[in-house]
Amino acid sequence: MSKNLSATLNRPTPNRPTPNQLTTLEPERYELTAAAPYHFDLDRREFFKFLGAGVLVVSVLKPAALAQESGGSRRWRGDSLPKEIDAWLHIAENGRVTVYTGKVEIGQNIRTSLTQAVAEELHVPTEKIELVMGDTKLTPFDMGTFGSRTTPTMNLQLRRVAAAARDTLVTLAAKEWNTDAQNLVAENGKIIDPKTSRVVEYAALTKGQQLTETLPAEDPLIAATNWKIAGQAASKINGRDFVTGKHKYPSDQTQPGMLYGKVLRPPSFGATLTSLDTKRAEQMGVTVVHDGDFVGVAGKTSDVAAAAVATIHADWKSEPQISNKELFDYLKQNPTEGHDPTGDGDRYESGQIDAALAAADHKLQATYTLPYIAHVPLEPRAALAQWDGDNLTVWTGTQRPFGVRGQLAEAFRIPEDQVRVLMPDMGSGYGGKHTGETAIEAARLARAAKRPVKVVWTREEEFTWAYFRPAGVMEVTGGIRGDGMITAWEFHNYNSGSAGIRTYYDIPNQRIVFHPTKYPLRQGSYRALAATANHFARESHMNELAYAVKMDPLEFRLKNLKEERLRAVFEAAAKKFDWGKAKSPGQGFGLGGGYEKLGYIATYAEVNVDAKSREVKIVRVVSAFECGAIVNPDGLRNQVEGANIQGLGGALFEAVQFEDGKILNDHLSAYRVPRFSDVPVVETVLLDRKDLPSVGAGECPMVGLAPAIANAIFDASGVRLRSLPLIPDGNIPGTRET
């Protein structure tokens, strides 16, 4: 039986944030979550302030389950900070290290990069470390895995925990050997005294002891320039389970006696039930649940459940709703009060914008639009729910296990500590799985069936009943002097959001406004949020302004840009791309870039436009990306490549079509996503700034692509496309030969 060791590491609370507290570099951001108002009463700023204060408790050697018990009742409200944040790390008697984090693995490979960070600081090989992720009973509270926050916050947090644990172990060994801690070295899971050649394993050292330590105020972290494990390319830590089919995704989970659930869907959004006949279904040996507008069935297989649902007769009352054809007029004509919690603030003004626009040598006004698009995570939403009395356990695919726990507690009117949500590494999310619909559905059916129930959405359900990336209208007016200096910048975004709305170009007179509007479809977070929309409009407009004064678009940007890190990526990608090289007929080059979620991206595109058919081919994409000190170069390269390739869909052809509360292209044969044959040559330049804190990379790399392609199409054809998707049919719209 193992004994307990806990080291409490109290460091002085700094009066102002340290450089590592990235909250100083960027305003805190929330994410859009569809139809769950109580998500926003939580103050993440407080959470990060707490982490920054450096009060850590590292529980070691407690039996893991016991040590984590308090996690179940952990609630996060502004007035009760999680002082009980504990048990981030556990070293078992066999030397295995278990690390607990509320972050989840959705394909961004943080299981690997966080393991590298712990291995680096704890001086233990990665093979000995296991991460328990996103289990509301075992892991410390976490708001969710979004906003590219894992690397700047959780990576830092786990490094601190691991470093504290290592220092505690060194201190323990020094006491035991009656020597000075400075004489000892931590290496490969052991403490070594080089003078006497004494060696002790971490696990042996901690055995049978309890300890409380106070660490000095200095940050004990290893500088990136000295990293040995972090900073190196690491392949997916449990990759073998993924190539053998062994890994159990949320939709693969099973429990003895489990049933499969299906839900009766209304024929359109907002429809209400007026009559219902479930008699036939009830005679099919299934559990039928009718609760308000929720009608669902649980049966032995998904086919049985679906067949039973098909026999249900229901009448619904629907209201007429707008279609995608009226979408942009609708957004402009339906302003609402309120604000956008996801971005840079709703309104920013500097200088004298109206006077500056009036005095500009050239003034250019243009409107840009983007439609609703779907995330299409290849694994649709899935949940398996199991009740034990009034205690509920749910395995589900979500980016916010603690948020889903709250939704379940609210739905079933039970305390949160009676709900446990587990998040097995899932089949992607891209911002699309913040909510707990399937968890609630499965739990409702399981409650009635008195057996575990699994609900896996069909692709059509995922296309219809999930939520979408918000559509938007962006109106931009730029004013420039004849020498190419931008003097005025007015930017309005309707509905899509304010993430990335501010310009990084140095412009003395600005008015930047986000306009919330009524909107026709359920909308929420999507990888990079509105930064994709705002960069598309801004970086397209920059090229339009450059063209107005006949300047090279890169030269024009650099002339108006002081931010060194952004200049560096623009220049690095230009070099790789060979910007300025001669064009052949039909060829076009374009660029777009910016700053988002603490990272810097510049993307260049080469396209070819067929003179006759006006068919556009994307030939080559080159991106340079910088996100501070690189933790896992191969993982990072994978993210940047993936962002560009996924981004091709939204840039070129993805759009949700809808009418009267129905999604018209609700399956994969009707909604085109990028495939092998769509992929151009993709090249990535990574700038490793070991002198800067590591930040996230999941989102920023996506935002340069759409404007780079639009600008390249203009360069090739002289046609300016201001609406995404740029070429839904593969040709420049309106110019196809008939």
Query: Which of 163, 384 has the CB closer to other proteins?
Result: 384
Q: How many residues does the chain have?
A: 738
Distance of CA 217 to the CA centre of its chain: 32
| Residue 98: partners with Cβ closer than 8 Å, 6 or more residues away | 64, 89, 90, 91, 92, 129, 130, 131, 132
Torsion of CA 241, 246, 249, 253, to 10 degrees: -150
Helix, strand, coil shares, percent, the chain, to 5: 30, 25, 45
Query: Which one of 7-15, 61-69, 238-246, 436-444 is the stretch in contact with other proteins (CB under 8 A)?
Result: 238-246
* Interface with other proteins (CB under 8 A), residue from 76, 146, 260, 519: 260
Q: Which of residues 306-365 bind other proteins (CB under 8 A)?
A: none
Give the nearest distance from C-beta 533 to other proteins in angstroms.
20
Site string for other proteins, 49-88 (x = CB under 8 A): ----------------------------------------
Count the Cβ atoms, other than its own, within 10 Å of residue 186: 19
Query: Which of 189, 524 has the CB closer to other proteins?
Result: 524
Q: Which of residues 283-312 bind other proteins (CB under 8 A)?
A: 301-303
**Gap between the Cα atoms of 538 and 595, Å rounded:** 12
Strand positions, DSSP E, 357-467: 362-370, 382-388, 391-396, 419-422, 453-456
Query: Which one of 243-251, 284-292, 347-355, 495-503 is the stretch in contact with other proteins (CB under 8 A)?
Result: 243-251
**Gap between the Cα atoms of 435 and 36, Å rounded:** 8
Give yes or no for residue 418 binding other proteins (CB under 8 A): no
Site string for other proteins, 191-230 (x = CB under 8 A): ----------------------------------------
Surface-to-core class of residue 415, CB atoms within 10 Å of its CB (0-12 exposed, 13-18 middle, 19+ buried): exposed
* Interface with other proteins (CB under 8 A), residue from 426, 499, 521, 631: 426
Q: Which of residues 127-156 bind other proteins (CB under 8 A)?
A: none
**Would residue 376 be called left, alpha or beta, if left means φ above 0 and alpha means ψ between -120 and 50 degrees?**
left
Give the nearest distance from C-beta 109 to other proteins in angstroms.
7
Give the nearest distance from C-beta 552 to other proteins in angstroms.
30
Give the nearest distance from C-beta 247 to other proteins in angstroms.
7
Assess contact for 447 and 391: CB atoms under 8 A: no
* Interface with other proteins (CB under 8 A), residue from 10, 50, 55, 249: 249
Letter for the amino acid at 549?
V
Count the Cβ atoms, other than its own, within 10 Å of residue 37: 7
Pairing mode, strands 486-494 and 509-515: parallel
Taking CA atoms, 564 is separated from 157, 347, 359, 484, 508, in Å, by 28, 26, 29, 20, 18
Give the nearest distance from C-beta 307 to other proteins in angstroms.
10
- 275 forms bridges with which residues in the sheet? 315
Query: Which one of 17-25, 472-480, 531-539, 675-683 is the stretch in contact with other proteins (CB under 8 A)?
Result: 675-683
Paired tokens of 730:
């593969």
Give yes or no for residue 14 binding other proteins (CB under 8 A): no
Give the nearest distance from C-beta 530 to other proteins in angstroms.
21
User: What φ, ψ does residue 396 adopt, rounded to 5°?
Assistant: -155, 155
Query: Which of 320, 676 has the CB closer to other proteins?
Result: 676
Paired tokens of 144:
């969710």
Output the CA angle 422-425-431, nearest 5 degrees. Answer: 95
**85: nearest Cα among 143, 133, 140:** 140
Strand positions, DSSP E, 230-322: 259-263, 272-277, 287-291, 294-299, 313-317
Query: Which of 61, 636 has the CB closer to other proteins?
Result: 636
Give yes or no for residue 458 binding other proteins (CB under 8 A): yes
**401: nearest Cα among 430, 426, 367:** 426
Assess contact for 425 and 247: CB atoms under 8 A: yes
| Residue 550: partners with Cβ closer than 8 Å, 6 or more residues away | none
Paired tokens of 667:
């399956």
Paired tokens of 729:
């049919």
**Gap between the Cα atoms of 332 and 518, Å rounded:** 9
* Interface with other proteins (CB under 8 A), residue from 243, 256, 274, 483: 243
* Interface with other proteins (CB under 8 A), residue from 261, 343, 371, 377: 377
Give the nearest distance from C-beta 134 to other proteins in angstroms.
14
Distance of CA 3 to the CA centre of its chain: 39
Give yes or no for residue 40 binding other proteins (CB under 8 A): no
Give the nearest distance from C-beta 669 to other proteins in angstroms.
5
Query: Which of 4, 657 has the CB closer to other proteins?
Result: 657
Interface with other proteins (CB under 8 A), residue total 57
* Interface with other proteins (CB under 8 A), residue from 87, 92, 106, 114: 106
Query: Which of 182, 677 has the CB closer to other proteins?
Result: 677
Give the nearest distance from C-beta 576 to other proteins in angstroms.
16
Q: Which of residues 682-721 bind other proteins (CB under 8 A)?
A: 682
Query: Which of 451, 559 has the CB closer to other proteins?
Result: 451
Query: Which of 150, 206 has the CB closer to other proteins?
Result: 150
Query: Which of 196, 254 has the CB closer to other proteins?
Result: 254
Query: Which of 89, 305 has the CB closer to other proteins?
Result: 305
Give the nearest distance from C-beta 380 to other proteins in angstroms.
7
Give yes or no for residue 376 binding other proteins (CB under 8 A): yes
Site string for other proteins, 547-586 (x = CB under 8 A): ----------------------------------------
Radius of gyration of the chain (CA): 27
* Interface with other proteins (CB under 8 A), residue from 251, 287, 407, 532: 251
Give yes or no for residue 674 binding other proteins (CB under 8 A): yes
| Residue 409: partners with Cβ closer than 8 Å, 6 or more residues away | 415, 416, 418, 419
Give the nearest distance from C-beta 241 to other proteins in angstroms.
8
Please report where in the chains the tokens 């052991």 appear, as a residue.
190
Paired tokens of 113:
């990069």
Give yes or no for residue 395 binding other proteins (CB under 8 A): no
Give yes or no for residue 676 binding other proteins (CB under 8 A): yes
Paired tokens of 15:
């009066």
Q: Which helix (H) or strand (E) holds 442?
A: helix 437-449
Site string for other proteins, 625-664 (x = CB under 8 A): ---------xx--xx-xxxxxx-x----------------
* Interface with other proteins (CB under 8 A), residue from 93, 130, 252, 563: 252
Query: Which of 174, 682 has the CB closer to other proteins?
Result: 682
**638: nearest Cα among 105, 109, 104, 228:** 109
Taking CA atoms, 50 is separated from 82, 327, 400, in Å, by 9, 43, 20
Assess contact for 530 and 470: CB atoms under 8 A: yes
Give the nearest distance from C-beta 666 to other proteins in angstroms.
11
Give yes or no for residue 108 binding other proteins (CB under 8 A): yes
Pairing mode, strands 391-396 and 382-388: antiparallel
Give the nearest distance from C-beta 125 to other proteins in angstroms.
19
* Interface with other proteins (CB under 8 A), residue from 513, 679, 686, 692: 679
Give yes or no for residue 94 binding other proteins (CB under 8 A): no
Paired tokens of 172:
């323990």
> Which residues are near other proteins by CB under 8 A?
106-109, 235-236, 239-240, 242-249, 251-252, 254, 260, 301-303, 376-380, 425-428, 430, 456, 458-459, 634-635, 638-639, 641-646, 648, 667-669, 673-677, 679, 682
